[in-house]
Amino acid sequence: MNDDTKVMDTVPGFLAHAIAMEEESAERYEMLADSMEVHNNDEAARMFRKLMQYSERHADEVHTLATGMTLPDLAPWDYNWNCPDFPEGADCSDMVSYLMTSRQALDIALHNEIRGRDFYAWVARESPDAEVRRLAGEMADEEQEHVNLLQAMLERPEFSSEPPMEDFDPPNMPEG
Ligand code: ZN
């Protein structure tokens, strides 16, 4: 993401980033929710559907803010979700659809919510544009709420004590 610094200088640049991130989140949450439904974990599925709706709402809000602006083209793969045990920037979309215990799903979601929060917090601090800083600050606060929701769920014994799935054997899994 080496162009971030430049792109974050302007409202359209920031909005384009935000849309890409929120749309990616919505898609991944839908995959996580579907996967949890397959495993009959309705509570985790409901959590992911809720977070999917939050991401969709964010994306809609940002689209509304961007009305009439020309947004820069961004490479969508820069916004792929990461998995906690993967190298930074490695795409783990396959894992997200492959799943997995609810614990692992919650871990991946939390990891990416923290990334999102840190991204918005960084823009809120560093952008030279006051409007970008304000918008990013609001987004950072909302992402923090999502982080809190996931952390609270992960702390509950039925999720925190859950063992990894035995036959979990995704493609291209790094050693360890
Ligand atoms: Zn979020």
- Range(s) of the domain holding residue 146: 11-70+94-160
pLDDT at residue 63 greater than cutoff 50: yes
The answer to the question of residue 79 being in a domain is no
145: domain CATH number?
1.20.1260.10
The answer to the question of residue 170 being in a domain is no
- Whole-number pLDDT of residue 22: 92
pLDDT at residue 11 greater than cutoff 70: yes
- Reported as a single tens digit per residue, the pLDDT across 70-105 is 988 887 666 777 777 666 666 666 666 565 788 888
Ligand 1 centroid to residue 8 C-alpha, Å: 19
The answer to the question of residue 75 being in a domain is no
- Whole-number pLDDT of residue 168: 45
Q: How far is CA 57 from CA 60, 103, 107, 132, in A?
A: 5, 25, 23, 19
Ligand 1 centroid to residue 27 C-alpha, Å: 12
Ligand 1 centroid to residue 5 C-alpha, Å: 22
Ligand 1 centroid to residue 166 C-alpha, Å: 29
Ligand 1 centroid to residue 155 C-alpha, Å: 18
Ligand 1 centroid to residue 138 C-alpha, Å: 12
- Reported as a single tens digit per residue, the pLDDT across 104-133 is 889 889 999 999 999 999 999 998 889 889
Q: Are 36 and 45 in contact (CB under 8 A)?
A: yes
Ligand 1 centroid to residue 113 C-alpha, Å: 5
Ligand 1 centroid to residue 136 C-alpha, Å: 13
The answer to the question of residue 4 being in a domain is no
Output the DSSP codes for 126-156. Answer: H-S-HHHHHHHHHHHHHHHHHHHHHHHHHHS
The answer to the question of residue 116 being in a domain is yes
Residue 43 dihedral angles phi and psi, to the nearest 5°? -70, -45
Using alpha carbons only, what angle is made at residue 104 by residues 102 and 40, rounded to the nearest 5 degrees? 20
The answer to the question of residue 5 being in a domain is no
- What's the structural domain count of the chain? 1
